Amino acid sequence: MSVRKLSRRSALRGVGVTMALPLLEVMNNRLATAAEASVPRRLAFFYIPNGVVQSAWNLSEVGKNYTLSQTLQPIESVREHILALSNLDRIKVAGTDGHAQASTCWLSSAAPDELSPAGYPLKRTIDQIIADQTGHETSFRSLELSCNPYEDNRESIYFDNISWFGHGHVARSLRNPAEVFNRLFRIDEHANSSSVLDLVMEDAKDLQPRLSMLDRHKLDEYTDSVRTVEKQISRVKSRQADITKLNPQSPVKPWQAMRRDEFIQVMGDLMILALQTDLTRVATLMTGPERWGSPLNVEGWFEKPIQHHSWTHGQHNDNIRKQLERLDLFHIEQFVQLVKKMQAVKENNGTLLDNTAFMLGSGLSSGEHHVCNNLPTIIAGRCGGAIQTGQHVRYREGTPIANLWSSLAQAMGVNLDRIGDSTGSISEIGVG
Amino acid sequence: MKTIPTRLRLFFFCSLIGFTGWAGQHVLRAADPSVERFDYHKIRGRQAVGSEQRRHEGELDFAISGTSRVQGMSPFGQQWSNGAHLLWDGAVGQSMESSFEVDEDGTYDISIQLTVAGDYGKFHLTMPESSLSRDVDLYDPRVELAPLLEFKNVRLKSGTQPIRFKLIGANAKARKFNNRGYLMGLDFLQLVRKDPPPDSVTKTVSKEIDNAVPPPAKSFPADNTDTEQLSSSEVSKLTTEYCIDCHDGENKETEFDIGKVNELQAWHASPDVLRLMRDALSDHEMPPKDAKQPTEVQRTALIATMEFMISEYLRQNQTIPATVMRRMNRYEYNNAVRDLLQLRGDIYPLPEKTIRAFDPYFSPSTGQSPRVMLIGNRTLGKNQVERQILTGVSPFAIDLQAEGGFNNRGAELGVSPIFLESLLRLGRSIVHSPEFDGYCGLTGSLFSAPNTDNKEVISDVVRKRLKNLLEQAFRIPVDAPMLNRYHHYFAQRLQETDSFRHAMKDTIAAILASPGFVYLAESSATADTALLNGYELATRLSFFLWSSIPDEELLSVARDGSLANPEVLDEQTRRMLRDPKCHALTQNFARQWLRLDQLVTAVPDFDRFPEYYSRIGCEQWKFGLQMMIEPLLLFDSIILEDRSIMLLIDCNYSYRSDELQSWYGDETPFANSKNRNRFNTHRQQYLKRRLTDRRQGGVITSAATMTMTSSPLRTNPITRGAWVATVILNRPPPPPPDIVPPIEADDRVIESGGLTLRQRLVQHQDSPTCAACHSRIDPLGFVLENYDAVGRWRNEYNSGLKIDSSGELLGKLQFKNVIDLKDALLDHPELFMRAFSEHMLSYALGRELALSDEPGLEKIVSSVMTDRGQFTTVVREIVQSRAFRYHAKAPTIKETP
């Protein structure tokens, strides 16, 4: 057993997820038996709510030898694996809440006229579009996580979810690490359901003709879910031996007792585990929900509970801006830690990071005026060679971020002519 | 489907209030000072059982002031009623002053039980309003009950009855108390009604049943009838002169474009735009104060024209907005499973069921809210939630509230693979939990195998059991294919498990995950609007009142079709309101209506407000956990005693723990306590308290509301104003613009510059775009500035700066302080009665209200006004409304790829 494997194992234990066997061996066993020799590509998103302080974020030079800005300092240690992108925009949807549309429209670039009954533009998001294809081969079609620590329900679902199956149909994020763990690794969770599914599916068929068109659409959420779960059950069962061998242990601490950085890292670990064991190839991780005006503790970084949202509106005050910059830095550090963890996972042809596109971003560039131009966008990993990392690229002003969605789809092997307001693709990302 | 942008939608929603209710009448009439304000405490639809003989406990039911205090009497014996009395001491010449409540005018026999002891004095007892008086000597060497004082045939008026015990001297043998004076003790006062109480008439709901026939066109408010309507060109001329400068579609700040619809014809198709304009005009919100103003004649004519066009539109469009089918939320799922399987209690502890009663107290059949309740807080309390009730059973994720609404709307209640997984797991884990058999009332009748080997008999029994259960679970008539399906599944499981019980449990688990159970499905309407069938109506009704499925009695009237009869429907409504299950109206409706969840994450600054925190073990608990209970118990008492909803505005009683009482009353609450175990976090006794200070009482000024609408280091008048506008008036302000100037987070920083928070906020609203909204919202927050960030009264700011709490309500009613505000709301009860009815109707329907709901609301509000806001009237009128009993043909929607 190599030193690297040991250190990785202890790193995982440190934050609560432990593994009886080094994953690599399990992975290798599985992949050796797989018909394909190539390692799958994965895509993951790391979402920061409420935008960032632009002045401390923006990069001035382009190319390989760009100088890191104040907020982006932590990526120095991994910069050869990073592609930084500037001037990518989202369509701003006038007349709806700036924060809710940041989370609902970020990954879909939904047009303003795609309004849901609740008044938000909603479309199938890029992670789900890609999962339509990659999900055929994995136990779970996708994984949605949110490090939303709030126990009040101050805001609606539009602030707490970035992944959508479509119009009004949310791919609801999981907030509790223990629950995530059980879903991924506890075989008995999935046992014994298949005959029940046949039965309730018959009930749905009974119900359907009685309903109006509108309600039939609503019922589709149920029947689609049944089909997804059906596939999931058989695929999870086929991986049963791997997982038993892996013998992962659930996070020990309850999430309510976790420090802020711990919470994000544990969720990140679970996401990485799911990606490296090929339980899924597409994942989204929100570090927190949009707006949600409730104060929050960030232990070790701030003495008193912080107020992220109201700070963003007060950032022209120097003191407030400095605090906010520190919070942005905190998020970048969390991201870089996860990037390094991906880098530490060996795969046949390199590392997990090499085979993944791990993108950090926000639906707002700055929360101060709810601006959607020049969204913070950083991609770590080469996605199996599709991404040319180690540089900063500045696009022409007004380039839709939808072009990036389209390119990421391509990198993941999904052909997509158009999404949202896309006008083309991103030249640094391709089929690879 | 037709949708409206959020901003417009919010305007649209908030303008609901404005129809003819009052805004259409341009100016609210000033309250006539010569007319005495109605005392809403008189409204009480339910009397306590045995109210003809009502005992007022000294320690519970009498106003406490001066040196009066409660003394527990158990050391002296068990003879004192409720184990305590009200103790007073003073010098000769001084009086113990108190009062108690009489529910109804009448003739009563009064008996008073006092205490005697060695240091008790001679008193002159008077009740000034009934000319009753008597002298008593309370000396006795023992501590004992005094002989009962009795007064026959005393006329008493309803309301507060003062009572006075003047210390006039002492028995020669009596010793002095503390060398100062003498004591007295009041155990109880009992009233026995002599004349028969007036018939407790059961009012019937509005006789005129609102059936499918389109209601008549709305008649105009009286002062509009004479106003000529304007022609298209006249309207166009006025809007060009006063509106178009900003609302031309070019100005980015307004986003509201009149230019495009400057033709009357176009307006006909845009009733929502009409409504916005009408309300902005009638509220004097537009044109902004510093812009050119139309004359009152012009304004009136414009409003009248728009009113006419809106009513024309409503006359021609009798549609009911379509409701998206929804699934149960997790609160409802818990109740539905509990009721379906007759469980002894909940299946999982839900933080959203805030009130945790240690002795169940919510019994509408008693007609009275108890005076003492032992209660914990599940949302915020210590160790209230984590413990599972049934081993291995955990709820699915919390369902969030819709913006400006409740967590029972289809658009937000989705089903995803993750949800479905939880649902499957839940059903299984409930029936197979080790505690289930002892917890379920159907263990014998549903799960035990029939005592026979005859396969046919067994099969018949299983079919019969399943048929009953499926009907109740799915709220539809059970047909043969469905029954066969479940029977087949049962047989399959029986074969696999070889256990009747196990197979039946698996079958029940499947039912609990079926779409037939989790969805509140309504069959497609055959006409544009159609009456719901019996099962559907029963389902709406039970989810409205109980947040659960119908019971057998409701199902039986659904089955035989009689529920379609409005009288049967009303009878069921009244019956269901007498069932303890309607506690869901407090736990689910009131909690969300009041936005009480926001108290969960309120964090008053730890150093500035240390008394808000209590350290227990290594964790800090917040006092919010006691505050949160207070408004909910007030709501409980309104349901239990069928009182007026106006008590939510102003009320002369409240339910508080001793610690909560100290929070309001003491200079430094819990003065003698350290930060450890500063206050109780587990459970507390909440007692009914009489309030004599009108700065307290009702929900607005409750410590819960004041704390959750504050920032850590100061109050937040805009948040408070928005809360009042949204919750109390149902006129939620539009979302704030993208550019929000920041205000210092700490009021001490602001005050060090010599400015009050109010002055600082006003400085920031120099732009007319900001001022237009803020002039409407902020005064409703400024008037509450006397309550600090944790809800305690202050006469001035910390720095000594004066508090300016004056303002006006909706641009019309002036007030100088919070009591004026309460009076303004009491003098114009239609404001709150309408807003409350709207909130509750929206909850009952599981959807946002629309323009076409206005005529129905008009009817509800007018009955509620007639009955002075009586709670059951609100509920019964909502149930009888067309919107509740009918549903619409849903529009076809375009497929999105």
* B682 at interface of A, judged by CB pairs closer than 8 A: no
Q: Which residue of A has its CA nearest to B619?
A: A257
Question: Using one digit for the tens of pLDDT, what is the confidence trace for A224-258?
Answer: 999 988 888 888 888 878 878 878 888 888 888 89
Q: Does residue A300 belong to any structural domain of this protein?
A: yes
Instruction: Provide the 3-class DSSP secondary structure of residue B182.
Output: strand
- Location of structure tokens 């209590």: B614
Distance of CA B655 to the CA centre of its chain: 15
Q: Does residue A294 belong to any structural domain of this protein?
A: yes
φ, ψ dihedrals at B886, nearest 5°: -115, 165
Residue A207 and residue B492: Cβ atoms within 8 Å? no
Q: Which residues of A touch B255 (CB under 8 A)?
A: 94-95
Residue B5 and residue A119: Cβ atoms within 8 Å? yes
Q: Are B516 and A203 in contact (CB under 8 A)?
A: yes
Question: Using one digit for the tens of pLDDT, what is the confidence trace for B785-795?
Answer: 999 999 999 99
Widest CA span in chain B: 98
Question: Using one digit for the tens of pLDDT, what is the confidence trace for B293-324?
Answer: 888 888 888 888 888 888 877 777 777 888 88
Question: Using one digit for the tens of pLDDT, what is the confidence trace for B649-663?
Answer: 999 999 999 899 999
Q: Does residue A97 belong to any structural domain of this protein?
A: yes
Q: Does residue A104 belong to any structural domain of this protein?
A: yes
CA B259/CA B250 separation, integer angstroms: 9
Q: How many CA atoms lie within 13 A of B33 on its CB side?
A: 1
Q: What angle, 0 to 180 degrees and rounded to 10, lies between the N-to-C axes of helices B455-474 and B480-497?
A: 120
* B415 at interface of A, judged by CB pairs closer than 8 A: yes
Two structure tokens written together for B284:
């004097």
The number of beta carbons lying within 10 Å of the beta carbon of residue A180 is 27
* CA geometry: angle B458, B459, B461, nearest 5 deg: 65
Which among A97, A167, A190 has the least Cβ separation from residue B735? A97
Question: Using one digit for the tens of pLDDT, what is the confidence trace for A146-172?
Answer: 999 887 777 888 888 999 988 778 888
Residue B515 and residue A158: Cβ atoms within 8 Å? no
Number of domains comprising chain A? 1
pLDDT value, residue A12: 42
Ramachandran region of residue B868, left (φ > 0), alpha (ψ -120 to 50) or beta? left
pLDDT value, residue B198: 53
Residue B597 and residue A221: Cβ atoms within 8 Å? no
Two structure tokens written together for B896:
């999105």
Residue in A105, A115, A153, A230 to test binding to B, most B beta-carbons within 10 Å: A153
Among B447, B590, B577, B548, CA closest to B505: B447
* B257 at interface of A, judged by CB pairs closer than 8 A: no
Q: Are strands A282-286 and A169-170 parallel, antiparallel or unpaired?
A: unpaired
φ, ψ dihedrals at A371, nearest 5°: -85, 145
Residue B325 and residue A218: Cβ atoms within 8 Å? yes
pLDDT value, residue A115: 64
Question: Using one digit for the tens of pLDDT, what is the confidence trace for B422-462?
Answer: 899 899 999 999 999 999 999 889 999 998 889 899 999 99
CA B821/CA B785 separation, integer angstroms: 13
CA A119/CA B8 separation, integer angstroms: 10
pLDDT value, residue A117: 55
Which among B410, B514, B740 has the least Cβ separation from residue A200? B514
CA A80/CA A63 separation, integer angstroms: 12
Two structure tokens written together for B739:
């550019």
pLDDT band at B845 (very low <50, low <70, confident <90, very high): very high
CA B770/CA B779 separation, integer angstroms: 14
Query: Residues B258-280: what's their mean pLDDT?
Result: 68
For B130-159, give the DSSP string.
GTEEEEEE-B-SS-EEPPPEEEEEEEE-SE
B241/chain A closest Cα distance in angstroms: 26
pLDDT band at A3 (very low <50, low <70, confident <90, very high): very low
Among A349, A277, A238, CA closest to A25: A277
**Domain range enclosing A74:** 3-180+250-411
A224/chain B closest Cα distance in angstroms: 8
Residue B706 has pLDDT above 60, yes or no: yes
CA B797/CA B748 separation, integer angstroms: 9
Across A53-97, the runs of DSSP E, i.e. the strands, are 82-89
Residue in B273, B420, B469, B536 to test binding to A, most A beta-carbons within 10 Å: B420
CA B515/CA A197 separation, integer angstroms: 11
A188/chain B closest Cα distance in angstroms: 10
Distances (CA, A) of B660 to B146, B629, B706: 34, 10, 14
pLDDT value, residue A13: 40
Percentages helix, strand, coil for chain A, rounded to the nearest 5? 45, 15, 40
Alpha-helical segments (H) within A239-372: 240-246, 260-276, 308-313, 318-344
Q: Which range is most confident: A1-10, B372-381, B721-730?
A: B721-730
What percent of chain B lies above the pLDDT cut of 70?
Answer: 87
For the entire predicted model, the pTM comes to 0.80
Cis peptide before B287 (omega within 30 of 0): yes
Q: Are B518 and B333 in contact (CB under 8 A)?
A: yes
Q: Are B573 and B879 in contact (CB under 8 A)?
A: yes
Q: Are B678 and B621 in contact (CB under 8 A)?
A: no
Identity of the residue numbered A283:
A
Residue A412 has pLDDT above 80, yes or no: yes
Among B312, B513, B360, CA closest to B426: B513
Q: Does residue A185 belong to any structural domain of this protein?
A: no
CA B46/CA B28 separation, integer angstroms: 33
Q: What angle, 0 to 180 degrees and rounded to 10, lies between the N-to-C axes of helices B829-845 and B871-880?
A: 50
Residue B481 and residue A206: Cβ atoms within 8 Å? yes
Q: Are A400 and A420 in contact (CB under 8 A)?
A: yes
Q: Which residue of B has its CA nearest to A165?
A: B416
Q: Which residue of B has its CA nearest to A213?
A: B892
Two structure tokens written together for B545:
């009142």
Alpha-helical segments (H) within A166-212: 177-185, 194-207
Q: Are strands A42-47 and A356-361 parallel, antiparallel or unpaired?
A: parallel
Question: Using one digit for the tens of pLDDT, what is the confidence trace for A357-409?
Answer: 999 999 999 998 888 999 999 999 999 999 999 999 999 999 999 999 999 99
Cβ neighbors of A241 (< 8 A, separation 6 or more) are none
Query: Residues B707-722: what's their mean pLDDT?
Result: 94
Point out the least confidently predicted range of B165-174, B219-228, B263-272, B877-886: B219-228
Q: Domain containing A69 — which CATH number? A: 3.40.720.10
Q: Are B544 and B879 in contact (CB under 8 A)?
A: yes
Q: Does residue A423 belong to any structural domain of this protein?
A: no
Q: Are B655 and B633 in contact (CB under 8 A)?
A: yes
Distances (CA, A) of B425 to A191, B417, B433: 10, 12, 12
Residue B540 has pLDDT above 90, yes or no: yes
Q: Which range is most confident: A182-186, B261-265, B346-350, B575-579?
A: B575-579
CA B818/CA B635 separation, integer angstroms: 21
The number of beta carbons lying within 10 Å of the beta carbon of residue B50 is 11
Instruction: Provide the 3-class DSSP secondary structure of residue A341.
Output: helix
Among B380, B373, B347, CA closest to B359: B373
Distances (CA, A) of B612 to B116, B622, B626: 41, 6, 11
> ipTM beyond 0.85?
no
Which among B486, B510, B515 has the least Cβ separation from residue A207? B515
Cβ neighbors of B778 (< 8 A, separation 6 or more) are B717, B718, B721, B761, B807
CA B667/CA B662 separation, integer angstroms: 9
Two structure tokens written together for B257:
């474009």
Residue B877 has pLDDT above 90, yes or no: yes
Question: Using one digit for the tens of pLDDT, what is the confidence trace for B18-76?
Answer: 333 333 333 344 555 556 789 999 898 887 776 667 788 888 778 777 888 888 887 88
Residue B521 and residue A215: Cβ atoms within 8 Å? yes
CB contacts < 8 A, A to B, total 212
What percent of chain A lies above the pLDDT cut of 90?
Answer: 54
Distance of CA B438 to the CA centre of its chain: 35
pLDDT value, residue B268: 60
Q: Does residue A17 belong to any structural domain of this protein?
A: yes
Cβ neighbors of B616 (< 8 A, separation 6 or more) are B382, B676, B677, B681
Q: Are B490 and B466 in contact (CB under 8 A)?
A: yes
Residue in A208, A212, A230, A299 to test binding to B, most B beta-carbons within 10 Å: A212
Cβ neighbors of A248 (< 8 A, separation 6 or more) are A17, A18, A19, A20, A181, A185, A273
CA B320/CA B530 separation, integer angstroms: 10
Distances (CA, A) of A62 to A59, A82, A170, A179: 8, 13, 38, 43
Greater pLDDT, B400 or B175: B175
Q: Are A387 and A83 in contact (CB under 8 A)?
A: yes
A6/chain B closest Cα distance in angstroms: 34
Instruction: Provide the 3-class DSSP secondary structure of residue B622.
Output: strand
CA B758/CA B236 separation, integer angstroms: 39
Considering the domain B53-193 in this protein, what is its CATH number? 2.60.120.260
Residue B868 has pLDDT above 50, yes or no: yes
CA B616/CA B609 separation, integer angstroms: 17
CA B768/CA B103 separation, integer angstroms: 51
pLDDT band at A44 (very low <50, low <70, confident <90, very high): very high
Give the strand order in the sheet containing A143-146. Answer: A143-146, A282-286, A42-47, A356-361, A377-380, A82-89, A391-400
Residue B15 has pLDDT above 60, yes or no: no
pLDDT value, residue B305: 83
Residue in B256, B331, B423, B424 to test binding to A, most A beta-carbons within 10 Å: B424
Instruction: Domain ranges for chain B, please list them.
Output: 53-193, 219-316, 716-783+795-826
- Rounded to a whole number of angstroms, the CA Rg of chain A reads 21
Q: Does residue A421 belong to any structural domain of this protein?
A: no
